[in-house]
Amino acid sequence: MICCVTGHRPKGFPFERKDNNILYMKYNVHLYHEIEKLICAGYTEFVTGMADGADLDFAECVLLLKNNDNEITLEAALPYPIKAPKRSTEYNENRDFILSKCDKICNVSTYFHRGCMQKRNQYMVDKSDLVLAIWNGKTIGGTWNTIKYAQSQGKPIRYILLNETDKIFLPFQDTDI
């Protein structure tokens, strides 16, 4: 079975995404355990959109679990082909490392255009049996659009809700695995 992720970029998180931040560490541990549960439930293929934030967090957790299980695969669904950056950043280095470990890389569009991100998100939802949504509860933006699209396609969604009020993450699911 196949699971894809949708989630926020760093600015959509209610806490700083730094390794020394206790909330970020708890969130990553929770994400790891959620993916572990999915693997136990029979999910072996995982798809990430490779955006900075939730997508890369998801990919890193899948790669850690993949080290212990040869059945696990990771696909990078890119909205368009990535060109070599003019300058190196932590994001570019992390992204490039993850891409080097992916079992499959799919460029959903051949070039950047308005709507290519949504096209990538729809590709991921369409090929998946389950969507893992790392969501801050706001009903705007790409994560919300992907959740709405998954709902319209009848795809089950499992949520990790990023709660802005309490500044903690809360697990929530509207489907059983």
Query: What is the 3 state secondary structure string of the chain?
Result: CEEEEEECCHHHCCCCCCCCCHHHHHHHHHHHHHHHHHHHCCCCEEEECCCCCHHHHHHHHHHHHHCCCCCCEEEEEECCCCCCCCCCCHHHHHHHHHHHHCCEEEECCCCCCCCHHHHHHHHHHHHCCEEEEEECCCCCHHHHHHHHHHHHCCCCEEEEEEECCCCEEEEEECCCC
Tokens of 177: 């695995």
Q: What is the CATH number of domain 2-127+153-173?
A: 3.40.50.450
Domain boundaries, the chain: 2-127+153-173
Measured CA to CA, the distance from residue 80 to residue 112 in angstroms comes to 6
Q: How far apart are the first and last CA of the chain?
A: 11
CA atoms within 13 A on the CB side of 102: 21
Give yes or no for a contact between 174 and 165, defined as CB atoms under 8 angstroms apart. Answer: no
Sequential pLDDT tens for the chain (177 residues): 999 999 999 899 988 888 788 888 889 999 999 999 999 999 999 999 999 999 999 999 999 999 988 899 999 999 999 876 666 688 888 899 999 999 999 999 999 999 999 999 999 999 999 999 999 999 999 999 999 999 999 999 999 988 754 444 555 555 543
Measured CA to CA, the distance from residue 126 to residue 66 in angstroms comes to 23
Give yes or no for a contact between 109 and 120, defined as CB atoms under 8 angstroms apart. Answer: yes
**What global pTM score does this model have?**
0.89
